[in-house]
Each structure stands twice: as structure tokens, then as C-alpha cells.
Structure 1
Amino acid sequence: MSVDSDPDMFSSQTTVASNWSKDERSQKDTFNWAMEMMSHGQYLPLKSQASLNLEDLQYSTKMYYIRQARLACEIVCESIAPSQGIELLTQVYQSMKLKTAETKKKDAVTDTIISAYKKAEDYTTKVQILSLIVEKYSKSELLSFIEGLTIYKIDAARKYASTHGPGQYVTPPKITRLRLSKQKIHHFIEFISAPCYLQVVGFGSRHLKLSSGLTVKVPKVIRTMIASRLITAYNNYCKDNTILPPCRATQYKIIKACAASQLKSLHGLDNYISDGMESIDTLKKVVSNLGTKGLQTSKVSDLIQSLDTLKLHLKNEFRSHLSTESDCSQHCMHFALSEKGCEHTHSNICQPCDRMYQIRDEIQNVMTSNFSNIEIQEKEELEHDILVSTEKNLGLEGSFY
């Protein structure tokens, strides 16, 4: 008997096969079939289903399921609202987010903590109180609970909780302050206000506000030395006279409080200093010129280093060594100004000051011994530069007395 001759038998066999296929079709196959129908073959079939918790999956596997789920949701929303699938998906996500936020409500303990947070006055106490609940709620929930709260403060509270513990009190560090006597302050101010370090300008004025609230008008002044070198000179002076100076930080604060402009250019204000510094640069050029004519490199380096040391001494240290009763002839103001009645002896010699004459003699000896065949005109020019530079250095020393 053929199948064609018995149509009822054929219909029965087809129905059995269809029921068998529905029973045997897995959930994954059903999902792939539905997605293929809705996407018209554009959806890539799902290869497998998650058999473990999502948190236990590998990162690549987890991201694969997230991509497949997102694409499936987009296809479903596009089928429900053609050409508006993305907008519908966004509104669905927002409604789920609001529903989740509504389910998580504040408890009585949280209300008490928030009330204590609002009553706190200083920043540290607020962060300490906020650290009790920052791990329990998300940032968006905390922002909705407390008006005026910022994300920065939430991060600070979470850092506080992880470092010290939620709500733990941290003992502030003990700060020890040493009281400075008025005598030390007056001694330091006297030193930095000496005429050799402070020059009064012929125009302009400043207003100093005292701690009592009184404002005093003072003439505008210019400080001839930077703060660091001024402090170094004062510390050296205290060391020579066995005086205990304030710490450097305190000295910087006092100098900052004693407002004064910083001297940037000496031309037109003190030509002796300007010419003296320029003369040392001229001597350095003379030494460098001799180096190009065959003078040993080590000798050139030694002479230039000595000139730099002399320049630093004359610019910063020399004026602090001057005294009316110094036992050094270069530092005695009575002796330098040819004052009569100098009642003490001059038994010491200042090595840096005496070095100026030694450098001059060394350069002249080098020119005579090593460069006897130098042209007469060029030799006369070098000797003239040395003589003029030495005179300017002497003029610089005399300007400090």
C-alpha cells in the first residue's frame, strides 16, 4: 500500500513528527529561531547558554553574553516600535532603574545619621559621619538622600572609611609651637634693614597693617639681596658671634612680612656695584682669552673659579663683615676711611679680600712668563683691562664703608 493511496496515514505521520520536533527543540534553538525570524537573519545565533553564575564566568565569556543580550533587546524593541527601538530601550532601562531605586529605602538608622550629618559644622566631622553609610548606598542614592552633597565628599568619606574605619575618630596630630622672643625678632629685623641690604627709593610708599589694626605709611624700599642669601649672611653672622638664630622658615616669614621690592638692575641706582660686578666679568674674559692662546685648561678653570668666589664674596658677604672695631684692615671702617684715632690693632687678614690682589698678580705673571711673544698692542689692552678692573673692585669695596 502506498502513501499516496492513504492520505489519513500521511497526515498522522506528519503530526507525530511535528510534535516530536517541538519537544526535542531546546531553549537555545527556540531563542535562535525567534531571533532569526524577527531580525530577518541578521542576528548571529547564540552558541551556548550560561551554565554558571555570571560573576563566576570569565571576562570574555561574560562580555559575549552581554553583547548578545543587548542586541536581542534592540531587536525586540525594534519589532515592538519600528524605527524607535533605541528610544524604547532607553525608557525601559530608566523605568527599571527607577524601580530599583524605589525598592531601596532609607531605614531609621540612616535617617539618624543623615540628621547628625546636617547638624555637623566642620568638614572633618561631616566626612566622619558620612563614612558610616557610604558603603551601604550608591552615589546616586546618597545624592538624593542629602541635599547639597557632592561626589567629592562621598569619595572622601569612602577613603576615610577604608583608611580609618567607618565613623572611627582620628586623633589630630599634635602641633608644637615655639614662642620667639621679641629680642630675636628685633635683632633679625635690624640686620635685614641695614643700609647695605635695604635702600630707600626716592619715590613711592607702602602701607603696613599692624596686628592692632593700625595702618602705617612707610617709604618704598628695595632689597639689594635675595632672601636666601640674606638669611645665609645672618646665620653666618650669628655663628661668628655665638648667637642662636631663629629657624630658616621663621626668617623667611619675617622677610615676607617686611615688604620690599627685589633689586633686579643696579644701573642708575648703585653704579659702584654695577661696575664692580662688570669688572670681574671682564677679568674672566681676559683669562678665557689667555686660554685660547695656550694657557693650560686647569689654570684657566682655577682662575675663573677664584673670580666667581670673589664675586660672590663682594656681592653678599663683604658688607656683613664690616665693623668699626674689626681687627682686619679690610673690614675696619675707621681704617678704610682714614679716620684718626683707630685704637685697636689689625692682626688678621681676610683671605677672600686679599685674593683679589693675588688674582691680579697671577694673571700678570702668566702674561709675562707664558706669553712673552704676544703682540705689544694686545698685551697693552689686556694690562689696561686688568688695571681698570682692579680699580673698579676697589671702588666697589669703598662703596660699602
Structure 2
Amino acid sequence: MGRDEECEGAHISLEQPLRSGICDLRQASTSKELYPIEELRNMAIDDDTTPNSNRDSIGSVFEPVQTPRQRKSQTALVNTFLTSVGEKEILRTLDPSTDWSSTSRAAKSQGLTSLARIVKAGCSVIAPGKESEIRAELKGSGHVEKAFNIQPVPAATTRAIISSFNLLKDNKSSRRVLLSTLSTQLSFGQVRNVLPTVTQHEFKMAQRHAHMHGPGKIVQPMRLYRVIMSKQKAVHFIDFLFDHGVLLDKAWAASKTVRFSTGERRQLIEAVTNENFQTIIEWYNSYCEDFDFMPLGRSALYNVLQKIPLVKTEAVQCLDMRIAEGKEAMKSLEQVISMLPVDSDQQFNLTTRLKLIERHIVSELKQVLRTKNECRKHCVTFALSEPNGTQFTSECSDHSHITNCEKCLLISKLQETIIDYVKTDEFRVSRHIVEAEDMEKDEEDLILDVREAFGKLNNWRAHQVRTVNQNCARADITMGLLRQRPLTGVYVHQDFAQKALPQKFYESQRDYYAKTGISWHTAVATIFDNNDPFQTTTLIHTFDNQVKQDSSLVMAIDQHLLTYLKKKYPTLLEAIIGSDCGQTYLAANTLLSMTQMKQATGIDVKLYCFTEPQAGKSMCN
């Protein structure tokens, strides 16, 4: 039997104790002896050791175990005991909602030092003058393990583990699985007493295996195959990047020469991204699962992203007051958190939760919003329906809302947590407020500021939902209506662009906002053709003299646009016009003039679409 066959047999036999309680490891090589390790399985695998991957990360990490008042009273009792025996008081305690593995090294060291002082104080009370003897006796007595419900490893189990490790010395994965059953209950020193050859790296990898998959659970290795990159799948991935706002066009972008595997070189325009490759690929895989689409492999997706000239910077966008208010609310809440009477770990915990909310609103929310979704927070149909109205309401009759998004609910939970901290007596003392009137006034003002800040975050989130909905409507027009009307329907998106700037220097901000200089109006017409799927025509109107951007100017421009398109494409019969929510486009004269366009140009305007306010940048930009 070769080495590979031996390891494979041991790997298969190792699965037996996890199912029936019989370890047939020795039989894999010699077929002489069986070792029961049912006791080891009952000791190591418990309901409390469920892998964290199956738990809700937000609820398990951030839900508080005790209130600050309870923790403070307990710490005061311990400090009273330490002071009575001449020991130093505990200055700080660890955050109960933070995992031990996520705690900083300094906090761990300080916590262990405080624990050592408590043990020393207990020894001095129980056995005065005999602290050294009782400490040495306690170390190997097993009473500590008994207090923590850690059962000793039986002798038969020890022999089974040693024999298994000697047999699986060349199979690291099986050794890791076997060691993971002990890593959740025993320390590295205790395991080292049983298995002297185990290294600290092996023990840490076994702990990681138990944390991710469960103690003693065998994970089949993923087989990787080399496949041909499909052009259809690559185009699907690239469309996802630009259609879902993952990649944005960069203003004043420069071109970059990219060399492909075929040896061809091309000039590609730089794009902007605010996320790393791993996060982008996770979003795309989740998107493909929702639509039952088989994507490319991870390595192929990485290769596609590496070929795109990316710039990690903020894109130049229009002024968006919702985003600006949301950013100001984030700064305001961070200042409030820094004022709370909590330790550094709790402040870091609250700040992390706040950052999770911002990240979810900025990038993650756009990827999970759907017209029909089982999560109420991610269902666009439910979100945009009036709660008590009938005119602007749609029923979610073909699907039910049975799931919740913890990150969306985190906004209300974090608001309640911060307000509870503000109402505590510790916060009032830390603010050094003496007079009752000033105390009540300052507390009410701060609570009002917190609620207003979270209200701005909710408005920012609602703004993102409306933006995604309007962008989906524009995509439905171009991909649906125009395909049904080849060469007979056109979609025109128009906008007043920035002023035509001189070649040698930029126009001053004063002249720009005063609307002095050369104004120009841009419009992009999209037409579907069976031979060439989409044809786009860019039309620009430039004005030599200063003009007023009002409804009369827009009416004249639209009439000229449709007249020109009718001459270029004689088969055009219908048009859909879109723009942002500028006052010149929302004016009644502009909308009423669309009903007369058919008589003047021969093209009937069927629909006029508006984008979300301050989020209407599209092809014109």
C-alpha cells in the first residue's frame, strides 16, 4: 500500500468515530486493534460548539451580555475584596460582547494580570501565609478544570489519540481534524502533555478548524478544475460591475495600455472602485445565486478584475445633500460615542457597529435590493409603497417576507444602545454637570442630536433605495421597451452640462455658479437595431451668448432634438425622454409641451422619466 492509499484509508476511517463512536484507525494499516473514543466525542463536541459560520455575526458579536450598571456593581465588589487584603484594584474589565480572539493583546495582558491578583487574594484568605504551597497544589490538582467543567481525557482515549497521530503523521488534514476535537476543551499545554510532538502552529490551525467547521468535522477538499473562460460569462461579470455601481467612470480619466493573453494591446479608460477584489467577487457570486446563473471561477474573476485599469479613489460626483448629511451624522455619532462612560473596547465595539451601518448603506445595500425579496428591508416593492395609501401602493402577493437583515436592524438597535448610555448616571457624572436644570437640558439636547443623526442615516438609506429603483427603471426601458421597438423607439436622456471651460485655465467658481460663460446642453439618444444591438448618438447644443436655463429653452432644445432624430432615423415613431429633477425639466410648460411634439416633429413622446434628486448622473456625464 502506497503513502497516498494509506492516508486515504486513514482519512476515511477517521470519519467513523464521528458517526458511530468507533475509531478504526489502527485497522486502516494493520487491522489488529480497535480504540473507542466515544468519550472524547462526548467531551469535545457539544451544542455550544456550533461553528460561528452558522450563527448571525451581528447578533452573536454585538449583543451585550450584561448592562453597564451590573458590571460596575460587580467590579466594585471585587475591588472591595482586593482592597481588604492589600491588593490593587481592577482598573478596567473586558467587554463581554467581544470575543477573546478579537481582544487586543494589551487588554488580554491586563485582564490576566487582574485575574492573577484575584487568585492571589483568594489564596491569602483561604490559607494565610501558605500562598505558595496552595498555588502549587492547585496547579496539578484538577480542581480548576472541574470548576470550568473540563473533564480529564481517559486513558483509553489518550492511547487512541497517540496511535492515530502516529498513523497519520503524513496526513496533515486528518491530524488537524483529530486535534480539533481537543482544541475546544484543552489548552495547548494540556494537549502537549498528551502529544509532545504537536507544535503550536498545528494547535492554532486545529482551533481555527473547530471555529469555522466544527470540532471533529471532516471537510472534503475543494477540487479545482481548469476551464475555458466563456465570453458570455465574462461579459455578464463586466456588465454587473458597471450596472450595479461597483465600478464608476472616472472624471478626467486617463487611458492605460493593457496586454491580453493573446498578445494584443489595447487602450482602456481608468475606472474607480472603492472595494477590494474579494468583496466584489462575493457580491457577484451572491447575485448569480439569486438568478441561477453559473459564474466563472474565482481565479478567472480575479484575472478579469486585474485586467481592468482600476483607481482606488473617490469618484467625482454631483453634490448629493443626502450623502453629505449622512457623513455629518456619522461624525456626530462618533463624537457622542467618544463621550460615553465606557472603556476603550466598548467604544471600539460601538464604533465598529457604526462603521458597519455606513458600509452597508454605501455599498452593500445596492447589491441586495430586489424588486421581489423575502427580506422586508430589501424589497423595493414594499419599501416604496405607501403604508396607508392606495394610489402608490403595490402588493407583495407573489412572495412573503420571512427573513430579516441584521445590518438594517442594527440602526435602531445602536440608537437605543447609545441613548441608554446617555441616560445613565455615569454619563452625567463624566460630563461634570452639577445643576439639575443644566443636566436635564444637556441630556435632552444630546438625545435629540442622536435621534436626528440616526434619522439622517435612515434618510440616506431611503435615498439609496430610490436611486436603485430609478436606475432599474432606466435599464428596463433600454433593455425591454427598445428591444420591442427596433428602429421605431428611442430613449433620450438630457442634461445641462458644465460650462465649456477654456483650454489653458479653469473657469472660476464665481463665474461658474453665476451662469456666466458658455452654456451647453447634452443629450444621448439610444436606439435598438437588430443588426447593431444599440446605437447611441450624442447631441450637444452650445450657446455663444449667456442664456437663461428655463422651460422655454428646454422646449426649443427638445423640439430640435426630435426633429434631427426624425431626419436621421425616418422610421422613428415613439420616444421616451429622461432627465434629472432640475426645475427646468419639472416645469409645467416643459411637460405640457411634450403632448404637442408629435404634431411638430412626427415623434410621439410616450413617457418622461425623472431620476432620483441629486442622483441622476448617467450617460450625459
TM-score if structure 1 supplies the norm length? 0.46
